[in-house]
Chain A
Amino acid sequence: MMMEAIAFYMLAGFLIFFSYKVISVPNPLHSALYLVLTMLGLASAFFNLGAQFIAGVQVIVYAGAVMVLFVMVLMLFDLKTEIRSFSRGLISGALKVMSAALIAGLALGGARSSVTVLDAPAGAAVPGDVTRQLGILLYTKYLFAFEILGILLLAVAVGVVAVSRMKGGTHARH
């Protein structure tokens, strides 16, 4: 239990530090790299929670593909460190931070109350092979949603190709 707590607090510290860095460093490429570290930390949090397959997919999809795309696009743009990377306005900025803090505070309050309500020490463990059950669930109960997702991805792929072939690009149609 002690070890578990230490592991969790270390992980939480890393995650909070990295995600704070994502929003605070002025160079967008650096914040993308901090986001990669956040993604990897979240993958290990998933692993801790017994979701091995989700952790693996998190690394493949987010850290391995999506963030590589982000970094690649940022490198293509060749943005230097921005002089003014945050929005202007003291009052509106304060309001924005306060609203975000409100969300976090609500989550924290909910978490505090849920600790007393749900007094399950480690949570009910999912029996057996999680990955196999996930696959079975995905292709039986959630099959329709899965198919819809496939169609959505197809539409997105077509849309992305259409957007990137608009005039002015390297692949423009004349």
Chain B
Amino acid sequence: MGIDVFEIGVNFVKMIAIFLMMVQIVPLLVWVERRGSAYIQNRLGPNRVGPLGLMQLAADAVKFLTKEEFVPKRGYPFLFYAAPVVAMVPAALAFGAIPLSSPVMVEAFEWMGQHWGPYSFKFQGYEIGIGIVFVLGVSSLAAYGVLLAGYGSANKYALYGALRASAQTISYELAMGLSIVGVILLFNSFNFAEIVGAQSAPMNFMLFGKKVELAFLPNWGIFYQPLGAVLLFSAMFAEANRLPFDLPEAEGELVAGYHTEYSGFKFNMFFIGEYGHMLVASALMVTFFFGGYTLWPWLTPETVAKWFTGMSLTQTSLLTALVLHGVFLAKVVLFLWIFIWVRWTLPRFRYDQLMDLGWRTMLPWALFNTILTAVVILIMRHPWGA
């Protein structure tokens, strides 16, 4: 059975929808960030435009679109224009590879006198067998957006910011990659869907060759890999250039870092890139350590599908997918709030502290975590009795 027009069309629409979802979440996050920071600092925040200040988003959008587009004269115009795009695309690509809900089955049907076979659509932009490697690789490309911005704008503050950012990204990528290895070993897969599938079950593991099942806990990665979770989350802060790791745009030292010369819509694209990275980071945390789109024992694909018994397979799977997508989004929103919370709580690192933390603290702990996980898995899965 080949791929027909219907399948290609649906996949195309799906990709665009997921990209738009990522872009559309940004203004909401900006609003949450401003109101949340105001709440944390005992202020009011933007509350004049519209109910709860929500129309401020529209006002901001208008401001971004109507500002003067400025290109520095002595810079490289092509690189200057390319940088915001390069900053935004990796986040979008990485977000497309993360499963957002259970797959949607479509039964065979007749349409326009033709027979259209049964389909199964993944609830994600595109499925790649080695999803984790893909996401790591793509998000490592985000450094180029910052580098090009720094080089293209012919501004020393931008250049400093870009150099800081690239060094920081390379350093923390190591810790990030190594902290995921524990999860890969644990669930024995590079595939997001398989990892989520393994987590939608009661906690089960091998204890000296015997299978143990604890029915009161879900099989989430956080219970096996707490150190990995902490390391991944901290490294994600550095990858997204968020406080306390926002050295590349430290406004007290570097004006605004790599986006000093940017205005209007190009600046907005950097913004979307940063918030997109936050979104990807939260989605990865949820997928690796908090059960993805499932919540055992109440909300797994099987239990939710039982709510909709009596409907056709198409309707059941679609409604199930939507419910589970809600679960996923709820978890992601929690992590996004933690991102914002941390930003307004912790002060910024000094640059040498940042490098120390990356190389001398997080990397050794991530290595230790990997080795410990490997040894424990080897001992526990060895058939001792037999």
Task: Report if A and B touch in the complex (beta carbons < 8 A).
Answer: yes
**How far apart sit A29 and B169, CA to CA, in the bound complex (Å)?**
19
* Chain B, interface SS category: helix
CB–CB A60/B129 < 8 A: no
Chain B residue total in the interface (Cβ 8 A): 27
- Is A57's CB within 8 Å of the partner chain B? yes
- Is A93's CB within 8 Å of the partner chain B? no
Quick one: closest A residue to B79, CB to CB?
A: A33
**CB contact between A56 and one of B79, B137, B144 (< 8 Å): that residue:** B137
Chain A residue total in the interface (Cβ 8 A): 22
Contact flag A68-B144 (CB < 8 Å), given A29-B151, A59-B138: yes
**How far apart sit A71 and B169, CA to CA, in the bound complex (Å)?**
13
- Is A149's CB within 8 Å of the partner chain B? no
Whole-angstrom distance between the Cβ of A26 and the nearest chain B Cβ: 13
- Is B141's CB within 8 Å of the partner chain A? yes
CB–CB A60/B170 < 8 A: no
CB–CB B140/A64 < 8 A: yes
Interchain Cβ contacts within 8 Å, total number: 71
Collect the chain B residues with CB atoms within 8 Å of residue A129's CB.
Answer: 129
Quick one: closest B residue to A76, CB to CB?
A: B163
Contact flag A60-B159 (CB < 8 Å), given A72-B147, A72-B167: no
**How far apart sit A57 and B162, CA to CA, in the bound complex (Å)?**
24
Collect the chain B residues with CB atoms within 8 Å of residue A58's CB.
Answer: 137
Whole-angstrom distance between the Cβ of A2 and the nearest chain B Cβ: 14
Collect the chain A residues with CB atoms within 8 Å of residue B177's CB.
Answer: 60
- Is B130's CB within 8 Å of the partner chain A? yes
Q: A29, A58, A72, A129: which has the most chain B beta carbons within 10 Å?
A: A72
Whole-angstrom distance between the Cβ of B34 and the nearest chain A Cβ: 33
CB–CB B137/A75 < 8 A: no
Collect the chain B residues with CB atoms within 8 Å of residue A53's CB.
Answer: 130, 133, 190
CB 8 Å contact bits of A51-81 with B (1 = contact, 0 = none): 0110011111001110011011001100000
**CB contact between B147 and one of A43, A52, A60, A68 (< 8 Å): that residue:** A68
Contact flag A69-B170 (CB < 8 Å), given A56-B134, A60-B133: yes
CB–CB B144/A60 < 8 A: no
- Is B56's CB within 8 Å of the partner chain A? no
CB–CB A60/B140 < 8 A: yes
- Is A131's CB within 8 Å of the partner chain B? yes
Whole-angstrom distance between the Cβ of B96 and the nearest chain A Cβ: 15
CB–CB A64/B147 < 8 A: no
Whole-angstrom distance between the Cβ of A168 and the nearest chain B Cβ: 20
- Is A36's CB within 8 Å of the partner chain B? yes
- Is B143's CB within 8 Å of the partner chain A? yes
Whole-angstrom distance between the Cβ of A117 and the nearest chain B Cβ: 32
Contact flag A68-B169 (CB < 8 Å), given A75-B147, A76-B163: yes
**How far apart sit A131 and B128, CA to CA, in the bound complex (Å)?**
12
Collect the chain A residues with CB atoms within 8 Å of residue B173's CB.
Answer: 60, 64-65
Quick one: closest B residue to A71, CB to CB?
A: B147
Whole-angstrom distance between the Cβ of A135 and the nearest chain B Cβ: 10
Collect the chain A residues with CB atoms within 8 Å of residue B79's CB.
Answer: 33
* B residues 125-166 touching A (CB-CB < 8 Å): 128-130, 133-134, 136-138, 140-141, 143-144, 147-148, 150-151, 159, 162-163, 166
Contact flag A131-B140 (CB < 8 Å), given A71-B147, A75-B159: no
Contact flag A36-B144 (CB < 8 Å), given A59-B137, A60-B177: yes
**How far apart sit A60 and B169, CA to CA, in the bound complex (Å)?**
12
CB–CB A63/B141 < 8 A: yes
Contact flag A68-B163 (CB < 8 Å), given A36-B144, A60-B177: no
Collect the chain A residues with CB atoms within 8 Å of residue B144's CB.
Answer: 33, 36, 68, 71
CB–CB A63/B163 < 8 A: no
Contact flag A72-B163 (CB < 8 Å), given A52-B128, A131-B190: yes
Collect the chain A residues with CB atoms within 8 Å of residue B159's CB.
Answer: 75
CB 8 Å contact bits of B63-89 with A (1 = contact, 0 = none): 000000000000000010000000000
Contact flag A56-B147 (CB < 8 Å), given A64-B140, A68-B169: no
Contact flag A60-B167 (CB < 8 Å), given A68-B144, A71-B144, A131-B130: no
**How far apart sit A53 and B129, CA to CA, in the bound complex (Å)?**
9
Whole-angstrom distance between the Cβ of A147 and the nearest chain B Cβ: 15
Q: A68, A71, A75: which has the most chain B beta carbons within 10 Å?
A: A68
Collect the chain B residues with CB atoms within 8 Å of residue A59's CB.
Answer: 134, 137-138, 140-141
Nearest 6 A/B pairs, CB to CB: A64-B140, A56-B133, A59-B137, A60-B137, A72-B166, A52-B130
Given contacts A64-B137, A65-B173, A75-B159, 4 further A-B contacts (CB under 8 A): A33-B144, A60-B140, A129-B129, A131-B129
> Which residues from chain A sit less than 8 Å from chain B, CB to CB?
29, 33, 36, 43, 52-53, 56-60, 63-65, 68-69, 71-72, 75-76, 129, 131
Can you give 25 A-B contacts (C-beta < 8 A)? A33-B79, A36-B144, A53-B130, A56-B130, A56-B134, A57-B133, A59-B134, A59-B138, A59-B140, A60-B133, A60-B137, A60-B177, A64-B137, A65-B173, A68-B140, A68-B143, A68-B144, A68-B170, A69-B170, A72-B163, A72-B166, A75-B162, A75-B163, A129-B129, A131-B190
